[in-house]
Chain A
Amino acid sequence: MAIADQKVQEFSERLVTAEEIKGRSLWQDASRRFFRNKAAFASLIVLTLVVLFTFVGPYFAVWSNEEIDWSVLGQVPTKGVPSFESGHFFGTDDLGRDLYSRVIQGTQISLLVGIIGAGIAVLVGTFYGAVAGYFGGRIDSAMMRTVDILLAIPYMFILILLLMVFGRSVLMLFVGIGLVSWLGMARIVRGQTLSIKNKEFVEAALVTGVHPFTIIFRHIVPNLLGVVAVYATLLVPEMILTESFISFLGLGVQEPNTSWGALISQGASTIQYGTLWQLLFPLFFFVISLFSFYFIGDGLRDALDPKDR
Chain B
Amino acid sequence: MSEAETMLSVDNLKVYFDIKPEGAMLWTKPLRLKAVDGVSFDLKKGETLGIVGESGCGKSTLARAVISMVPSESGRVVWMGSDILGLPVDKMRPLRREIQMIFQDPLASLDPRMTIGEIIAEPLKTHMRNLKPKEIKERVQAMMDKVGLLPNQINRYPHEFSGGQCQRIGIARSLILEPKLVICDEPVSALDVSIQAQVINLLTRLQKELGISLIFIAHDLSVVKHISDRVLVLYLGNAVEMSDGDELYMRPRHPYTQLLISAVPIPDPEIEQNREVDLIKGELPSPINPPSGCVFRTRCPRVQEKCAKEKPVLQTIEGTHQVACHFPLD
* Inter-subunit contact B97/A209 (CB<8 Å): yes
Q: Counting CB contacts under 8 A, is A207 at the interface?
A: yes
Tell me whether A165 is interfacial, beta carbon within 8 Å. Answer: no
Q: Are B155 and A207 in contact (CB under 8 A)?
A: no
A21→B153 contact, CB < 8 A: yes
Q: Report the separation of the CA atoms of residues A58 and B169 in the bound assembly, to the nearest whole angstrom.
A: 56
Complexed CA–CA distance, A272 and B122 (Å) = 68
Q: Is A210 interfacial (CB 8 A cutoff)?
A: yes
A209 touches B155 (CB 8 A): no
Chain B residues lying within 8 Å of A52, measured Cβ to Cβ, are none
Quick check: A209 and B157 within 8 Å, CB to CB? no
CB distance from A60 to the nearest CB of B (A): 44
Q: Map CB proximity to A onto B229-257 as digits: 1 under 8 Å, 0 otherwise.
A: 00000000000000000000000000000
When the two chains form their complex, are residues A205 and B155 in contact, meaning their CB atoms are under 8 A apart? no
Query: Is A171 at the interface (CB under 8 A from chain B)?
Result: no
Judging by beta carbons under 8 Å apart, are A25 and B113 in contact? yes
- Shortest CB distance B163–A (Å): 14
Interface size grouping (class) on chain A = 20 to 34
A203 near B69: Cβ-Cβ < 8 Å: yes
Residues on A with C-beta less than 8 A from B105 are: 200
- Once the chains are docked, how many angstroms separate the CA of A200 from the CA of B150? 24
Q: Are A207 and B150 closer than 8 Å at their CB atoms? A: no
Chain B residue at minimum C-beta to C-beta distance from A201: B111
Whether B205 is near chain A, meaning CB under 8 Å from some CB there, is: no
Stretch at the interface among A11-19, A148-156, A251-259: A11-19
A207-B96 in contact (CB<8A): yes
CA distance A207 to B96 in the complex (A): 6
B103 touches A203 (CB 8 A): yes
Of the listed residues A204, A205, A214, A218, the one surrounded by the most CB atoms of chain B closer than 10 A to its CB is A204
Q: Contact residues of A with B, CB < 8 Å?
A: 15-16, 18-27, 199-201, 203-211, 214, 218-219, 222-223
27 CB contacts below 8 A, A to B, read A15-B150, A16-B152, A18-B152, A21-B156, A22-B156, A23-B153, A23-B160, A24-B156, A24-B160, A25-B113, A25-B115, A26-B112, A26-B113, A200-B108, A201-B108, A201-B110, A204-B110, A204-B173, A206-B69, A208-B127, A209-B92, A218-B114, A219-B111, A222-B113, A223-B111, A223-B112, A223-B113
